[in-house]
Amino acid sequence: MNSKLSIWLLGDPVGHSMSPAFQNAGLTALGLPLVYAARRTSPGELVELVDAIRQGQAVGANVTLPHKGAMGVLVDRISPSARRAGAINTLVKVAGEVEGHNTDVPGLLRALRERDLASGQRAVVLGAGGAARAAVVALDQAGFEFITIISRDVGRAEILRGELAPGCCAQLSVVEAARAAEPVAGAPWLGAEVMVHATSLGVGEVEGDPAFVEAEAVWRALPWHDLGKLRGVHDMCYGRSETPFLSAARAAGVKGGDGLSMLLYQGLESFLMWTGRKPPEAVMRRALEEAAGRPLA
C-alpha cells in the first residue's frame, strides 16, 4: 500500500515536464513520504483539485500553463508575491486552507543574474499570460526602467499592463506582435538590452518537427538585426533540445538560455514551502540534468 501523499503539477500540456524527475529526487534524498506527479488538467477540473488539496488529499501543487492566472479566485489566501505578479504557480496546504504563491519571479531573477541579464534600462517581454506577468515583475525588480510587452493579443496585453503598472517602477508599454515584426524607426523596444520569451509557442516541440519549424519561423521574423543593444535573451520555455525561440536567436547571433535553470530555481522555492526543509539543490540539479540529457544552459 502506498502511504505517500501527493504533490501535483497541474497544467496542459504537462507530458514534457521534467519537474517530477528533480522534485522526486529531492523528496527521496530527504526520505520524505511524498511523491510529485504531473496531472494533465482541464480548466473544469481546477475547483475539484484545489478542494482536494484543501481536504488533505495532496499537500500542494505547482501550476503551469494555462492555469496560472485562474488560481486567484480558487485559493483561500494569496501571498504578496503572487498578488503582485497576478499569477499563482505554487499551491500550499496550510491549516486546512490553500495558499497561492509565485516562485517564478525569484526563480527567473536568479536565472537572469547568472547570465548577467538582470540589469539594464530597457527590456522586452514576449507574451501576455501568466509567465509574462512573472517576467514583467522580475524585470521591474531588477531595475529596468522601460519594459515593452509584445503580444498577438493586444487586448490581453493592455489588461496585463493596466494591472501591473500601478505596482511597477518601470514604465510599461504594449506593442502588437504583427507590428513588432517590422522595424520602426525610434521604436523604444528596439533599444532593449534583454528579451524574455514568455509565450507557449513551441513548448514541448522537438527540433525538426513541423510544429518546431513553424514556431521557429515566427521568432525568426523578429527584426533581430535592428536590436543592436540586445545583450541576450531568456526563454522561459525549455525542452530536451534547443527551443524554437533560442534557435531563432542563435541564428541571429544573439546569446541566450532556456527555462531549465529557472525551472530548477522556482522548484527549489516551492520544495521549501511544501516540506519546510532545505532542498538538496545538488541532488535536484543533477536529476534535472539527467532528465534533460544536458547541463543547465
| Cβ–Cβ under 8 Å, residues 136 and 172 | yes
Query: Would residue 297 count as lying in a domain?
Result: no
Same domain, 87 and 112: no
Query: Would residue 31 count as lying in a domain?
Result: yes
DSSP-derived secondary structure letter, 287:
H
CATH of the domain at 132: 3.40.50.720
Same domain, 121 and 191: yes
Same domain, 15 and 111: no
Same domain, 111 and 238: yes
Same domain, 77 and 115: no
Whole-angstrom Cα Rg for the chain: 19
pLDDT average, residue stretch 263-290: 98
108 has a pLDDT exceeding 70: yes
Same domain, 144 and 10: no
- Concatenated DSSP letters for 139-168? HHHHT-SEEEEEES-HHHHHHHHHHHGGG-
pLDDT average, residue stretch 203-232: 89
**Catalytic residue flag (residue 4):** no
**pLDDT category, 239, cuts 50, 70, 90?**
confident
pLDDT tens, residue by residue, 202-217: 777 778 788 899 999 9
Same domain, 177 and 36: no
pLDDT tens, residue by residue, 120-153: 999 999 999 888 988 999 999 999 999 999 999 9
From 4, 68, 93, 278, the catalytic residue: 68
Same domain, 123 and 184: yes
pLDDT average, residue stretch 26-32: 98
Q: Please state the separation of Cα 241 from the chain's center in Å.
A: 18
Instruction: Report the number of distinct structural domains present in the chain.
Output: 2
Query: Would residue 35 count as lying in a domain?
Result: yes
Same domain, 193 and 81: no
90 has a pLDDT exceeding 80: yes
Give the percent of the chain with pLDDT over 70. Answer: 98
Query: Would residue 111 count as lying in a domain?
Result: yes
200 has a pLDDT exceeding 90: no
Same domain, 35 and 90: yes
Same domain, 77 and 188: no
CATH of the domain at 75: 3.40.50.10860
pLDDT average, residue stretch 233-256: 92
**pLDDT category, 66, cuts 50, 70, 90?**
confident
Query: Would residue 234 count as lying in a domain?
Result: yes
56 has a pLDDT exceeding 80: yes
Q: What is the mean pLDDT of the chain?
A: 93
Query: Would residue 81 count as lying in a domain?
Result: yes
Query: Would residue 115 count as lying in a domain?
Result: yes
In this structure, what C-alpha cell is assigned to residue 83? 498578488
Can you give the residue range of the structural domain that contains 90?
5-102+266-292
Return the pLDDT at 2. Answer: 60
What is residue 233's three-state secondary structure? strand
Question: Is beta strand 122-126 parallel, antiparallel or unpaired with respect to 34-40?
Answer: unpaired
Same domain, 125 and 51: no
Backbone angles phi, psi at 242, to 5 degrees: -60, 140
The strand pairing partners of 233, in sequence order, are: 195, 256
Return the pLDDT at 1. Answer: 43
Query: Would residue 13 count as lying in a domain?
Result: yes
pLDDT average, residue stretch 231-242: 90
Return the pLDDT at 84. Answer: 87
